[in-house]
Amino acid sequence: NGSELVDIDNYISASFVKPDKDMFGVAEGKNLIVISLESMQSFVMNNDVYGQEVTPFLNEFIKDSYYFDEFYHQTGQGKTSDSEFLLENSLYPLNRGAVFFTHSGNKYDAMAQKLANNGYHSSTMHANNKSFWNRDIMYQALGYDYFYSATDYSITPENSVGWGMKDIPFFEQSVDIMKTIPKPFYTKMITLTNHHPFRVEGEDKLIDEYDSKSGTLNRYFTTVRYMDEAVKDFIQRLKDEGIYEESIIVMYGDHYGISENHNEAMSQYLGKEVTPFVNTQLQRVPLIVHIPSVTDNGKGKTISKIGGQIDLKPTLLHLLGINTKKDIQFGEDLFSPDHRDFTVFRDGRFVTKDYVYADNTCYSKDTEEQVEASYCEPFKEKASKELNYSDKIIYGDLLRFYEDPDYTSNTTH
Ligand code: GP9
Ligand code: MN
């Protein structure tokens, strides 16, 4: 029965933070374009390799966007698919395995489905085999209308590198697809070139590699630079095709690209030791919310609220004017004046306004030094409660017992 859901629902209702009244519905009726930036970490933003900017386009673009610079990924072993799970459901992925594989038969109340219920055409665009990460199956549970995968793109050896189609042709062909989709649409585009082992060649190599003992880190900057160029071309193309003004464009990094195995090289680049504290800070991924009519002409701003991928669903739905008050979700609207500075990683580490908890140690954010454990204690409880509740929902398929008010209103006569 659904009695377990009652406790969880009570916790969630009590935690709901109401949207900012000026931001709610600010993009009502617009297309929602979400770009999952492969392996994109925040440390490359406004940074350089031997004087060469790594993300010249994005560094300018964030001035015309809301840029969240204290935003964290919360993925586990399911990598990209975990980030998609967080985005769609505002639930945590699992602490082992990939929920896309293990629980694709569950009932969900995903953003794609909610948008479809609200008159949107919902899709994913990703030029890879459709069954990778079990996406073709999971996407049905998430309510996507269509998955534009490898077979919908014209992929050749010339326009491919490493894992598959390069980002520039991917975006190019995706805009052609967009022209054919009914409006308004929601589409999530998943990039691929900035993926381990981070290889770009010839004219796609726009900056020099870094020089350290880690070839992975050395090349990473060059593939990030290529991705930045691809996004730049994409935005221009949206403008040329008249889609830009009718859309909001959201980008986020899916998870880290540089693992702890490269700490030594990373220390060299950052000019400081990668302590457990610094490692948590390296889990920041950029979140960029670009609303043409609102943030263009330098009207964007950098927002340093602490949040994570779990916050995406309520944040984005509220911008489109769709209520989430009744949703079973663990995220909070990042634009809400009541948003709490707190984010928990899938492995139990967490970050608050003043503290970072990592390696069973409480650190001051300010001094980066260890502080008394009691400072982290109240958050520790909240962190494990949320992960635990979220796991219960997934393992027990508890959303079977949840009635989506939105869906109900659409089907009741
Ligand atoms: C594959 C792409 C990369 O389709 O999403 O997956 P990852 O290895 O980053 O999870
Ligand atoms: Mn990925």
**ipTM of this predicted structure:** 0.99
Q: Verify whether ligand 1 is closer than 6 Å to residue 83 (CB atom).
A: no
Ligand 1 pocket member 106 (CB < 6 A): no
For the segment 238-283, what is each residue's pLDDT rounded down to a tens digit?
999 999 999 999 999 999 999 999 999 999 999 999 999 999 999 9
Whether the pLDDT of residue 405 is over 70: the answer is: no
Looking at the CA of residue 195, tell me the nearest atom of ligand 1.
9
Q: Please calculate the CA angle 241-247-251 and round it to the nearest 5 degrees.
A: 105
Question: 128: Cβ below 6 Å to ligand 1?
Answer: yes
403: confidence class by pLDDT, cuts 50, 70, 90: confident
Mean pLDDT of 122-128: 98
Proportion of the chain above pLDDT 90, given as a percent? 96
80 as an active site residue: the answer is yes
Please name the residues in contact with 136: beta carbons below 8 A apart, sequence gap of 6 or more: 130, 147, 149
The mean pLDDT of the chain is 96
pLDDT (mean) for 171-184: 98
pLDDT band per the 50, 70, 90 thresholds, residue 4? confident
User: For ligand 1, is residue 101 a contact (CB within 6 Å)?
Assistant: no
Find the mean pLDDT for residues 223-249: 98
- pLDDT of the residue at 411: 41
Q: Could you read off the pLDDT of 11-66 as tens digits, one per residue?
A: 999 999 999 999 999 999 999 999 999 999 999 999 999 999 999 999 999 999 99
pTM: 0.97
With tokens 């948003």, the residue in question is: 339
Of 241, 191, 253, 198, nearest to 222 (Cα)? 198
Pairing of strands 71-72, 307-308: parallel
Mutate to test the pocket of ligand 1, among 101, 192, 216 (most ligand atoms within 8 A of CB): 192
Q: How far is the CA of 89 from the centre of ligand 1 (A)?
A: 19
Whether the ω angle into residue 197 lies within 30 degrees of 0, i.e. cis, is: yes
Q: What value does the mean pLDDT take over residues 207-228?
A: 98
Please give the distance, rounded to the nearest whole angstrom, from the Cα atom of residue 36 to the centre of ligand 2. Answer: 8
Chain segment 342-387, per-residue pLDDT in tens: 999 999 999 999 999 999 999 999 999 999 999 999 999 999 999 9
On the question of pLDDT at 408 being above 60, the answer is no
Ion ligand 2 contact residues with beta carbon within 5 A: 38, 79-80, 254
Environment class of 112 (CB within 10 Å of its CB; exposed 0-12, middle 13-18, buried 19+):
buried
Set 75, 80, 124, 222: catalytic member = 80
Q: Give the ligand 1 atom nearest the CA of 129.
A: 4
53: number of Cβ within 10 Å? 19
Nearest one of 221, 165, 160, 220 to 189, comparing CA atoms:
165
What pLDDT shows up at residue 3? 85
Question: Counting beta carbons within 10 angstroms of the beta carbon of residue 179, is it exposed (0 to 12), middle (13 to 18) or buried (19 or more)?
Answer: exposed
Q: Please state which of the ranges 215-224, 338-347, 396-405 shows the lowest mean pLDDT.
A: 396-405
DSSP H helices, 17-166, are 56-61, 79-89, 99-102, 111-117, 135-142
Q: Provide the strand spans (E) within 126-196.
A: 146-148, 160-161, 164-165, 185-190
For ligand 1, whether the C-beta of 190 sits within 6 Å is yes
Distance (Å, rounded) from C-alpha 76 to C-alpha 97? 8
Hey, what are 21's tokens? 């009244």
At a CB cut-off of 8 Å and minimum separation 6, what does 203 contact? none
pLDDT of residue 1: 63
